Amino acid sequence: MSLATKYPMEVEQILSKYPPEGRRSAVMPLLFLAQREEGYVNKAAMQDIAKILEITETDVASIIRFYTLYHDKKEGRYRMQVCTDLPCALRGAEEFMEAVCDRLGLNVGETTADGFLTLEAVTCLAACDKAPMFQTQGPDGLKYHENMNVDKTVDLIATLKRKS
């Protein structure tokens, strides 16, 4: 089902933000829309977006691959993106990441056996005063979880599982 059929109001609203000569700008919000349900942009959605904006599928693919938050592969239902950049690392982020890997039995980049959670390391999330921290990217969008420790993380994952 095309995006325009599935989300007519949202597609209309997105396109209305940009002038006719700037229609291509809509590719970014449209990709977030396409990614909403399954956490990644499938080939059909890529073709659909290319058609709406009159650009090539290669154009769309190159944008997906350029940006960290777009995905073209299905992974965990939630992505847990931990900042391990310099300011967070100065406040225990690397130790936190190690402890999380230990507790979940995962290496960075891997997904839990039940397919629920993928663990990723990301660059600065503008929360340097609240380290250790991470964001989750999932069906409910992008959310920050700050001043975290391993126990709070495990609790959060349990909560997310219950709500799913």
Partner 1 sequence: MAYILLRHRDIPDLNKFDVYQKNGGFAAFKNSVTNKKPSEVTDVVKNSGLRGRGGAGFPTGMKWSFIDNKNWPHYVVANADESEPGTFKDREIMEGNPFQFLEGLALASYAVGANVAYVYLRGEFWELGTALDQKIAEMEEAGYLGEKLFGTDYSLRIYTHLGAGAYICGEETALLESLEGKRGQPRVRPPFPPSFGLYGKPTIINNVETFTNVPMILANGAEWYKSIGTNDSAGVKIFSLSGRVRKPGNYELPFGTTFRDLIYKHGGGVQDSRAVKAIMPAGASSSLIPVNDNVLDTPMDYATVRTLGADLGSASIIVIDDTVSMKWLVNKTVHFFNHESCGKCTPCREGTYWMSHITERIQHDGSSGDVDLLLNVAKQMQGKCLCALGEFSTMAVVTGIERFPQDFNKL
Q: In this chain, which of 124, 152, 155, 161 binds partner 1, going by CB under 8 A?
A: 124
Sole binder of partner 1 in the list 26, 34, 45, 80 (CB under 8 A): 26
From candidates 8, 109, 115, 141, binder to partner 1 by CB under 8 A? 141
**Candidate segments 24-32, 39-47, 107-115, 152-160, binder of partner 1 by CB under 8 A:** 24-32
85 binds partner 1 (CB under 8 A): yes
Residue from 1, 9, 113, 126 in contact with partner 1 (CB under 8 A): 126
Stretch that binds partner 1, among 14-22, 96-104, 106-114, 149-157 (CB under 8 A): 14-22
Q: Is 95 in the site for partner 1 (CB under 8 A)?
A: no
Q: Which of 2, 10, 25, 36 binds partner 1 (CB under 8 A)?
A: 25
User: Using CB under 8 A, which of 1, 5, 9, 19 touches partner 1?
Assistant: 19
- Structure tokens given for 82: 């931990």
Radius of gyration (C-alpha) of the chain in whole angstroms: 18
Return the range that interacts with partner 1 (CB under 8 A); candidates 1-9, 55-63, 108-116, 147-155. 55-63
Three-state DSSP string of 72-84: CCCCCCEEEEEEC
DSSP string for residues in the chain: --HHHHSHHHHHHHHTTS-GGGGGGGHHHHHHHHHTTTSS--HHHHHHHHHHHT--HHHHHHHHHHSTT--SS---SEEEEEE-SHHHHTTTHHHHHHHHHHHHT--TT-B-TTS-EEEEEES--S-GGG-S-EEEEETTEEEEE-S--HHHHHHHHHHHHHH-
Q: Provide, rounded to whole angstroms, the least separation between the CB of residue 61 and partner 1.
A: 11
